[in-house]
Amino acid sequence: MKLSNRVLSALLLISFILIAATTEMGLADKICKTRSDRFSGVCFSSNNCAIICQLFEQFEGGQCEFEGAFRRCLCTKAC
């Protein structure tokens, strides 16, 4: 019975280490957002915003979000 408790403890410890390592790796995948310089007007379509950000501003993508009272195009990239 003691052997099975040791095995269970070891498995729990290994699981904890894997979860901690996965969480740390996820922290490196933060997304930075910057207001688009090229997109003008109120942003209604995240698809249009993403196209402008990718083609003209060399970002990975873009999305419409509220900035103050208006929806603005925010370009996105991994930090």
Cα distance between residue 64 and residue 51, in whole Å: 12
The CATH number for 2-78, chosen from 2.40.10.10, 3.40.50.300, 3.30.30.10, 1.10.287.110, is: 3.30.30.10
Whether pLDDT at 11 is above 70: no
Q: Tell me the per-residue pLDDT of 40-72, one tens digit each, with 9 for 90 and over.
A: 989 999 999 999 999 999 999 999 999 889 999
The domains of the chain are located at: 2-78
- Both tokens of 17, joined, read 């280490």
- What is the pTM (predicted TM-score) of this model? 0.63
Residue 37 DSSP code: S
Q: Among 49, 54, 55, 57, which Cα is nearest to 73's?
A: 49
State residue 23's pLDDT score: 54
